[in-house]
Amino acid sequence: MGKKQAGTGPLSRRPDNSAFKQQRLPAWSPSLTANTVLPTFYILSLVCLLLGIWLLITVENTHELKVDYTNAGTCEECFNLRKSPNDSTTACTCTVSFHVPTTFPGDVFFYYGLRNFHQNLRRYMDSRDDAQMVGRKNNLKTPSSYCAPFDYDADRNPIAPCGAVANSMFNDSLTVMYNLMDGSKIQVPLYRKGIAWYTDKNVKFRNPSTNNTFPLQQAFEGTTRPLYWQRPVYELDDTDSNNNGFINDDLIVWMREAAFPNFKKLYGVLNRAQGPFTEGLPAGNYTLSINYNFPVEPFRGRKELVISTVTWFGGQNYFLPIAYLVTSGLILVTAVVLTTVYVKVGKRGKNMEE
């Protein structure tokens, strides 16, 4: 016997007569009345106000000082020298004096800042070879096509690290001197290692595998430095051999692209174990000495040293406190308007009846 054929009439596709398929399940629907909505608006306004005040006080407890050294002090000559690509390898040093008005207590962070430098351009961000940066030897000799035109030099030697991101690495050297009352100067000691993210230092960036019988230089044999670098990648740090190659902290910090054209990147952390810096950065006069290498005139940018303290909230950033305070004000205005309408109209609109 054959199987009974299902019905083909107009009711054959009707859903089952169940509570789920017929949408008869029990549900809760809030009753939005003035007695429930208006208190909610006032409470939200108060919460946002308290959060905004709390964050504003937290931000006010941080200290930040920016020193623009693009063409300040004696850097005018270096600024003009870097306008010409032919003089990119000519050494130039300059100094800028600045004053710290109040003591920066606790841990103090030193950043270099750039303005109008768009690291967030997609073509720029793609111009790198991540496989090369994790130490794969095949990619050292055959860089990714994404790195073009910064993949090979004029003699067809592969560039390591390749790409526009590495080629434009910030390469100014900054030294801060503390001017004492007797006229002498003390160099502000900085921790220059340990400034990169742990995952970047130990996962995303690795040197080509080597053994103890030959130096790191031989691992990069057959490659050349980026066009605008003054040193090869295996000689970035002449004071610490373990801070060279693709695991150099400054290189790793630079390779993490910024989201906005005005940004700052960590350069060092104050070493509080020496001299007058045990309690932080003391107030007084300072001198910034710069090995001026990075050109900013082609993109109409600016360079600066940023000195800052941080809290659990981070550095000095007023965006979030102001956003909470503005939101609190908007909610309060809305609540007042709704309250006025409710009072004028009355419950169920009885005052609108003629």
1 occurs within a structural domain: no
Number of domains in the chain: 2
In terms of domains, do 249 and 119 share one? Answer: yes
Q: What is the pLDDT of residue 354?
A: 46
The boundaries of the domain holding residue 336 are 46-62+318-340
Give the C-alpha separation, 325 to 77, whole Å: 46
199 occurs within a structural domain: yes
Q: What is the pLDDT of residue 27?
A: 80
Confirm if 308 and 109 have CB atoms less than 8 A apart.
yes
274 occurs within a structural domain: yes
54 occurs within a structural domain: yes
Q: What is the pLDDT of residue 157?
A: 93
In terms of domains, do 195 and 184 share one? Answer: yes
H or E element, residue 57? helix 34-60
In terms of domains, do 322 and 304 share one? Answer: no
Confirm if 286 and 100 have CB atoms less than 8 A apart.
yes
Q: pLDDT by residue (tens digit) across 60-105?
A: 989 999 999 999 999 999 999 888 877 777 889 999 999 999 999 9
Give me the residues of the chain with pLDDT under 50, please. Answer: 1, 352, 354
- How many helices (H) and strands (E) the chain has is answered by 10, 11
In terms of domains, do 323 and 242 share one? Answer: no
354 occurs within a structural domain: no
Q: What is the DSSP string of 215-278?
A: -HHHHTTT-B--TT-SS-GGGS-SS-GGG-GGG-HHHHHHHS--SSSSEEEEEEEE-TTSGGGT
In terms of domains, do 195 and 101 share one? Answer: yes
In terms of domains, do 165 and 239 share one? Answer: yes
Query: What residues contact residue 51 under an 8 Å CB cut-off, 6+ apart?
Result: 324
8 occurs within a structural domain: no
In terms of domains, do 275 and 168 share one? Answer: yes
In terms of domains, do 259 and 331 share one? Answer: no
In terms of domains, do 180 and 269 share one? Answer: yes
Tell how far CA 202 is from the center of its chain. 19
Q: What is the pLDDT of residue 275?
A: 82
In terms of domains, do 104 and 195 share one? Answer: yes
Q: What is the pLDDT of residue 347?
A: 61
Tokens of 245: 């190659």
What does the DSSP 8-state code read for residue 351?
A: G
